[in-house]
Structure 1
């Protein structure tokens, strides 16, 4: 993917006002990764904003940060692969508040890179949740209702179209609320069909999922992340869940 040098320079100049190294080093441990994921993580940590504010005030910073990472990494922000040929794995992903496209940048694309490294891109179908505004109002309401209904519909469609695929339901931040609410709308047979659930920065951490055993649920919640306590404060620890995607994929592979 190519970007005009002038546009990229403007992104750097605008972002440097609040970019800084990671403020919570004890939360991040980068191990050996694939080349694409390593590059993403290095850029993520290099340009991580020094942020400590409410989710309402953080939306512009999150969007700008996503745009910067997207420009630097060429991350694809929208995936609509459901309904194509069946693959061994299908992942349906709900992005976080204020993120672009239908999968965002902070967790979705690095998760997909880790899945590609583990299983090969031809073995994976990726679908982002559509009809979902990812607004602050949605987060404060416990998760956007339209997005939740759409994710439930997508899971039912995946089961109907590809009953033998291993389905991963995943979300980041408000996207975790979407996962919880979507699964609550499923009948027990469909919910129990889900292979694994991968949650990053879950405001509903520890809340049981309808007909999905806890043994099939992976939750990454950093110790200093207020969102994981159903709070409203955004700090660096909430923006760094890309460091957890390899562990999440290994968890999914075991189910």
Structure 2
């Protein structure tokens, strides 16, 4: 299953010919101090994502004390369809915008792995068009929400293979890791299994986020 996940992700460079997408209606969840919004990788199982989202959320619960945490799994196909990442982009922005309106004191930690990193990139205004399973931007978090995003945690981020990274407003709040040899995020990388080992980085990422909240 893990090998299939990686090889499938490598088989497509997405982005062309996207239709306009409308985000599904999202209702706000109960208000907590911090909500972890996670976009899983291509075909990745698990509640928030077996390789990244679930381990990061578990690590955050241990590192952040005195604050209540909740989580939201971005609702999108996470498959190889050309509109998959764009659907995730629309859902993430729609959910966070609604959640911020209903819970004005809530802060957010955005987590993205592989295609999910494309989803997060797009949502904070960094286009993943041309990256593996990427897409043009269809929605961005509004300026009113930007201060509420405490941290952005990205793993195996495909835009890095294009020589891009998170810059601007969110740069200082971003943890963006690419394992050595990971062909999804490293141009010329040849170690496909490196793309599947990011669970080992969950603790470091959680420590980074804990320092921002």
Shorter-normalised TM-score: what interval? 0.7 to 0.9
User: Hey, what does 2:105 align to over in structure 1?
Assistant: 164
**How does 1:54-203 map onto structure 2 within 5 Å?**
55=9, 83-100=28-45, 103-119=48-64, 123-130=68-75, 132-138=76-82, 144-184=85-125, 185-203=140-158
Deviation at 1:233, TM superposition (A): 6.8
Runs of 4+ in 1 over 4 A off after TM superposition: 48-54, 230-234
Q: Which runs of 5+ in 1 are unaligned?
A: 1-14, 16-47, 59-81
Higher helix residue share: 1
Q: What is the root-mean-square deviation in Å for CA atoms of aligned residues? A: 3.1
- Whole-Å separation in 1 of the counterparts to 2:147 and 2:6: 38
Structure 2 match to 1:243: 200
Contact 1:51 1:235 in 2 (8 A): no
CA offset digits 1:194-226 (Å, max 9, x no partner): 1110001101234235632x1100011101101
Give the SS at the match of 1:187.
coil
Is the Cα contact below 8 Å between 2:10 and 2:184 reproduced in 1?
no
Alpha-carbon separation, structure 2, partners of 1:94 and 1:245? 15
Q: Which entry has the higher C-alpha Rg, 1 or 2?
A: 1
Residue 158 of structure 1 deviates from its aligned partner by 2.2
User: Counterpart of 2:128?
Assistant: none
Check conservation: 2:37, 2:71, Cα contact below 8 A: yes
TM-score by length of 2: 0.73
1:45-60, aligned counterparts within 5 Å?
A: 53=7, 55=9
Q: Which has the higher contact order (CA 8 A, sep 6+)?
A: 2
Partners of 2:168 and 2:80 in 1: CA distance: 25
Q: Which runs of 5+ in 2 are unaligned?
A: 13-26, 126-139
Kindly state the Cα deviation for residue 99 of structure 1 after the two structures are TM-superposed: 1.6
